[in-house]
A and B are shown apart, each in its own frame.
Chain A
Amino acid sequence: MDDITKEFLVESHENLDRLDRDLVALEKDPQSKETISSIFRTIHTLKGTSGFLGFTKLESVAHVGENLLSKVRDGVFVINPAITSALLATVDAVRFMLGQIEATGQPGDRDYSELVDLLARLGAGESGPASSTAPAHVSAAVAPVADPAPVVAPPSFAAPAPAPLVVATPPPASSPAPVVLPVPAAAPALAPESAEHKSPAVSDSTIRVDVVLLDKLMNLVGELVLARNQVLQFTTQCGDSAFLATSQRLNLITTELQESVMKTRMQPIGNVWSKLPRVVRDLAASCGKQVRIEMEGKETELDKTIIEAIKDPLTHIVRNSVDHGIEGPEAREQKGKPAEGCLKMRAYHEGGQVNIEITDDGGGIHTERVKKKAVERGLITSEQAARMSDHEAINLIFLPGFSTAEKVTNVSGRGVGMDVVKTNIEKIGGTVDLQSQFDHGTTLKIKIPLTLAIIPALIVTSGGDRFAIPQVSLLELVRLEAEQAHKQIEFVHGAPVYRLRGQLLPLAYLNRELKLGDRPGAADEAVNIVVLQADGHPFGLVVDEINDTEEIVVKPLGKQLKSLTAFAGATIMGDGRVALILDVLGLAQGAGVVKEVRNRGAKDAGPVNRRVLDTRQTLLLFEAGQGSRMAIPLSMVARLEEFPRSAIEYSGEQEVVQYRGQILPLIRVSDHVPAVSDVAKDRSGPMQVVVYNDHGRSVGLVVGRISDIVHAAVTGKRHAHRDGIFGSVVIQGVVTDLLDVQAIVRAAEPELAPKAA
């Protein structure tokens, strides 16, 4: 049975119950216009809907009932017991047919001409000839085949529950009974009986509940979860075994209750998907393409709020797939694909999350073209583009201001879109991933949490206050003892970094970001680093203490605090105090560890920003020798290392060091750049080495001093006349030489240099 029919049944059962009440009320107060109108409306709705759904038999019965009622309403007749009984009989007949529809999908083939006849005669009988024509016609048409008084019939079918066969059996009686008043009176008593036999009747198994009530329930359960957490905290201090057992039961019940209540807010994803076939059809038609849409897992359920939140992104993705992904029929046939493209939507649960996949068998994404576009638009540098894997390149389309469409159509190609999709999905704690095979199609995979209301979070302390960090953004926890911390947290021009398995991890101190003030003596204590991911970039958040993980109930902040991007909301902790929930992305942007442009994309991805991005690069600044300021793009740097002079060994003429189980050849930058005296050689301190990685082989560039990492606009480029130097640029107002790393490596280690170069 489809959803519409189900809804119709639920609604009609409610309506019939009201009809029963109204009809009885009407008998007591025949003059009540209001009651009559209400009855009329109800019957009219029933007639309309059943006609729409193709239940003609139901419609015809409702129709004659309506005719009779309209006369009553217009004051042609005054209601009398005969009319009331006939109308009640109509209600019963309708109810019976609804029961049949529920059981078999069809109203059954019982004949209602008797009832129709009766109603028609009641409608026609006492009225003038003009108004009688229509009903009289109906009765004439159905008169020949007649049943025994139809309302008597229910008892015979009441016992066998689904009864599709029994329905067919009522023996046709020859003579239409005249107005049989006592019989309809018996029917109402029988109707409930027949309802009882069909155990899970639609109308009995569902009720309509106000969403507000559900939200309130959800909140209350949230409170209960908090109270439970509080109780559980007590149990750890209390040895009473009875109390322990009780609280454990409380724990279980609360969890179960939480799950059940959460389920009440769940809706199948099909509700959002249902409008997509139309979108696809219209769009395909306007682009001159043939697209078929397939759906799998329509019944996958999601929280109502999430359903709302993914509605627009999903539509956008589908439009994109049809507009950009799937090719026109000729192009498809040339490639040996069927002319009709296929868009497949799939939803399923996995590990407490919902996955939604949108796959098209279209042209796929041409990674080189994407890279080229991104470079053209100044979203990435050409060096970055060269180092990018295909997967990274494909995901470039999520950058703000990006569009590969050759021309802007009214559908897409304006370059705002996929980044908005990504932002919206990330806003609800989801992730988006794109995979594409050129010429074979694209798959977009969305992972979203089941619900937003209750999330697992890590509780940390900083500056004496507790904060909750949603676990979705948590990567790992690192603890450095005070001594280690002194050594291993390095500063690049004041910006703290930590080397996490070889990668430089920018650090942000929570107490400083939130202006909570430094804790006295913090310098001598162990450092706790919470490694978080914001917008795909990892960064370390230094906190005073890491407390625990807890399920928290997210509550929004008031209007006065909405402008604070560092917080996503607040929650109530086990001890009843309020703790703020950190917005990892907002915090990262505030701390400058993630470029702000990325997220604001939708609005600001205008040309201005692009031009700025175009000339900005992240550069590592260092001194090769006396007073010579040099820079290389940070993207070429694998690591920064420090070696004691004693570590230098020789392999032939070549200076090498042992490094991570490998032999790292060292190149002294000063040897290769003329007019730079080698200070590094003379000094006795440790050597600063920039590890450069190319095609899987590493080279260490010995430099004098590493001074800074800057994200600066590179202006005033001048081409160089010296070896080993690309040219000179002005960075932060000082002339800086751009080192040609590849040339130097080529000169020093010919076999290391890329073959193509």
Chain B
Amino acid sequence: MSDNRQFSTFRLDGLLLGVEVLKVQEVIRYQQMTRVPLAAETIEGLINLRGQIVTAVDLRRLFGLPPRAAGRLPMNVVARTDDGGVSLLVDEIGDVIEIQDEAFEQPPETLKGVARDLVDGIYKLEGRLLLVLNLEKTLAAA
């Protein structure tokens, strides 16, 4: 592993989350969605991403967070997987940041519940913490 890693960051109900930038295909604004009946409630729907059909997963619901305020549209972070793209619905898109490996720490024991399983670790940034999302586990949980 190199010393520096780049993360694409986004916000979710006050949390700052990051996914390795190479795993992100693109970030797009809210798209019209087709709901999928009978699917798990974390599945928000399907979007047409230039001919590619992408499943949108609502991260708030996956993390057990309260629903987004009415009228606020989520953003799509489209992650690359072997199986095509999967979109993570988040509140707001942050910057792509480069972080030194030294700033990494295991998630604290006090982190409980779903988040514990889905977060690989924490990077200590100035004034805030970046939670690194384990994409594979997140998608498997959705």
Contacts and interface: CB of A to CB of B under 8 A. Distances in A.
Q: Do A and B interact with each other, yes or no? A: yes
Contact of B51 (A223, A515, A558, A579): A223
Interface string A236-251: 0000000000000000
A559 B46 CA distance: 13
B118 to A, nearest CB: 15
B48 interface: yes
B38 A566 contact: yes
A67 B39 CA distance: 68
Interface centre among A223, A572, A578, A580 (most CB of B within 10 A): A578
A306 B81 CA distance: 26
Interface centre among B33, B53, B57, B84 (most CB of A within 10 A): B53
A558 B86 contact: yes
25 contacts: A219-B51, A223-B51, A465-B35, A465-B37, A557-B46, A557-B53, A558-B53, A558-B54, A558-B55, A558-B81, A559-B83, A559-B139, A560-B40, A560-B43, A560-B57, A561-B36, A564-B36, A564-B38, A566-B37, A570-B46, A572-B53, A577-B34, A578-B46, A580-B37, A580-B46
Q: How large is the interface on B (under 10, 10 to 19, 20 to 34, 35 or more residues)?
A: 20 to 34
Contact of A561 (B32, B39, B47): B39
Interface string A446-475: 000000000000000001010000000000
Contacts of B57: 560
Interface centre among A219, A226, A515, A572 (most CB of B within 10 A): A572
Contacts of B43: 560-561
B47 A578 contact: yes
A566 B37 CA distance: 9
Contact of B86 (A465, A560, A572, A580): A560
A349 B68 CA distance: 55
Contact of A555 (B33, B53, B86): B53
Contact of A570 (B40, B53, B81, B142): B53
A679 interface: no
Contact of B83 (A465, A558, A567): A558
A560 B48 contact: no
Given A560-B86, A560-B142, A578 B38 contact: no
A566 B38 CA distance: 9
A482 to B, nearest CB: 25
A578 B55 CA distance: 11
Interface string B49-87: 001111101000000000000000000000001011010
Given A580-B34, A580-B37, 7 more contacts: A515-B37, A560-B40, A560-B86, A560-B142, A561-B36, A570-B53, A579-B34
The 8 A-B pairs at the shortest CB distance, nearest first, are namely A514-B37, A558-B55, A578-B34, A578-B46, A223-B51, A555-B53, A570-B53, A559-B83
Interface in A564-614: 564, 566-567, 570, 572, 576-580
Contacts of B36: 561, 564, 567, 580
Nearest to A553: B51
Contacts, number: 69
A561 B55 contact: yes
A557 B55 contact: yes
Contacts of A555: 52-53
Interface centre among B32, B45, B46, B57 (most CB of A within 10 A): B46
Q: How large is the interface on A (under 10, 10 to 19, 20 to 34, 35 or more residues)?
A: 20 to 34
Contacts of B142: 560
Contacts of B46: 557, 570, 578, 580
Contacts of A463: 37
B47 A516 contact: no
A591 to B, nearest CB: 12
Nearest to B87: A558
B53 A578 contact: yes
A222 interface: yes
Contacts of B35: 465
Contact of B38 (A219, A514, A579): A514
Contacts of B32: 577
Nearest to B43: A560
B51 A222 contact: yes
A572 B32 CA distance: 12
Nearest to B55: A558
Contacts of B40: 560
A75 B21 CA distance: 51
Contacts of B38: 514-515, 564, 566
A463 B83 CA distance: 29
Interface in A534-573: 555-561, 564, 566-567, 570, 572
A516 B139 contact: no
A722 B37 CA distance: 53
A556 B52 CA distance: 10
Contacts of A223: 51
A559 B86 CA distance: 9
A615 B46 CA distance: 44
A218 to B, nearest CB: 12
B39 A572 contact: no
Nearest to A226: B51
Nearest to B45: A578
Interface centre among B33, B34, B47, B86 (most CB of A within 10 A): B34
A577 B49 CA distance: 10
Interface centre among A558, A561, A566 (most CB of B within 10 A): A558
Given A561-B39, A564-B39, A577-B48, A465 B53 contact: no
A339 B34 CA distance: 63
Contacts of A580: 34, 36-37, 46
Contact of B84 (A515, A558, A578): A558
Contacts of B52: 555
Contacts of A219: 51
A256 to B, nearest CB: 21
Interface in A212-271: 219, 222-223, 226
Contacts of B51: 219, 222-223, 226, 572
Contacts of A514: 37-38
B97 to A, nearest CB: 28
A541 to B, nearest CB: 14
A576 B139 CA distance: 25
A560 B42 CA distance: 10
Nearest to A227: B51
Contacts of A559: 81, 83, 139
A559 B47 CA distance: 15
A558 B38 CA distance: 15
Nearest to B52: A555
Contacts of B86: 558, 560
A465 B37 CA distance: 10
A471 B53 CA distance: 22
A472 B81 CA distance: 32
Contacts of B84: 556, 558
B136 to A, nearest CB: 11
